Amino acid sequence: MGKLSVVGIGPGNYDNMTVRADRALRECQVIVGYSVYVDLVKDRYPGKEYRTTGMTREADRCRMALDLAREGKEVAMVCSGDSGIYGMAALIYELRGEAEDPEVEVIPGLTAACSGSALLGAPLTHDFAVVSLSDRLTPWEKIAARLRAAAEADLSLVIYNPASHGRPDHLRRAADILLETLPADRPCGIARMIGREGETGTVLTLGQLRDAAVDMFCTVFIGNAATRVVGGRLVTPRGYRDV
């Protein structure tokens, strides 16, 4: 009887994988995924059957993984970051529906909110929101409303997918929305290529963020009203000093 593990591999390096994710990739027969993510793990797990698809072929990729598991294979589908947060687990469950075959296991991984925070300092010590700027599947008006709500409620913000080739100005548009409520000197950060060759963490202000160059390898952090820069790090206190 086959099985499908949906595996969050974290930001991309072995060190940031969990023990459980590593074991799932060592023990499976087939590794399925978007080619860019498969390339991150391929050298470490030799002797596997690899099946890759292009970037926007999510449903095809999930059907392929489910079919292979139904045929009796031990299949691992790799997702960058977490397997659930903006990952493939939901689509796997939707496509399987009410059937019990194949067995599905979702293995969590470090999402960029965790790994990017650690790179920049500690910006998420208190309540926060995570919002993607990709409007491929979500109307921009809904994204804008979520950014406004987070700013007005003094939530720290993590922005996923701040830019892509098709929408180079989304971060600028998002910053302009946030600047309606938040001051231009609000501490922010950009984590790029987390855990990979060329990793960088940049601390800057919301005013500077508006004009910052970002790409699809960036995750953006916006502090709350208490966030400060301490020793070059982006730090949101929780208030333990008062205890």
For residue 113, give the 3-state DSSP assignment: helix
Q: Which of residues 68-107 bind a second copy (CB under 8 A)?
A: 82-87, 89-94, 96-100, 106-107
217 near a second copy (CB under 8 A): no
For residue 215, give the 3-state DSSP assignment: coil
For residue 223, give the 3-state DSSP assignment: coil
Nearer to a second copy, 142 or 196 (CB): 142
Among 129, 177, 179, 216, binds a second copy (CB under 8 A): 129
**Judged by CB under 8 A, how many residues of this single chain contact a second copy?**
81
3-state DSSP of 36-102: HHHHHHHHHCCCCEEEEECCCCHHHHHHHHHHHHHCCCEEEEEECECCCCCCCHHHHHHHHCCCCCC
Angle in degrees, CA 121, 126, 128, rounded to 5: 95
Among 65, 124, 163, 203, binds a second copy (CB under 8 A): 124
Nearer to a second copy, 98 or 169 (CB): 98
Of the candidate spans 46-54, 166-174, 178-186, 233-241, the one that interacts with a second copy by CB under 8 A turns out to be 233-241
Contact track, a second copy, 172-191, x by CB under 8 A: --------------------
204 near a second copy (CB under 8 A): no
Residue with tokens 């993510």: 37
Nearer to a second copy, 213 or 232 (CB): 232
Among 52, 53, 80, 132, binds a second copy (CB under 8 A): 132
We find the least distance from the C-beta atom of residue 181 to a second copy, in angstroms, to be: 12
Q: What is the DSSP string of 123-181?
A: TTSS-EEEEE---SSS-HHHHHHHHHHHHHTT-EEEEES--BTTBTTHHHHHHHHHHTT
Q: Which of residues 134-163 bind a second copy (CB under 8 A)?
A: 136-138, 142-143, 145-146, 148-150, 152-155
The DSSP call for residue 10 is B
Nearer to a second copy, 43 or 242 (CB): 242
Of the candidate spans 38-46, 129-137, 162-170, 211-219, the one that interacts with a second copy by CB under 8 A turns out to be 129-137
Q: Are 96 and 68 in contact (CB under 8 A)?
A: no
Give the burial string for 164-201 (b: 16+ CB within 10 Å, else e).
eeebeebbeebbebbbeebeeebbbbbbbbbbeeebeb
For residue 16, give the 3-state DSSP assignment: helix
Nearer to a second copy, 207 or 237 (CB): 237
Residue 162 tokens read as 């701040």
We find the least distance from the C-beta atom of residue 95 to a second copy, in angstroms, to be: 9
Contact track, a second copy, 34-73, x by CB under 8 A: ----------------------x-xx--x-----------
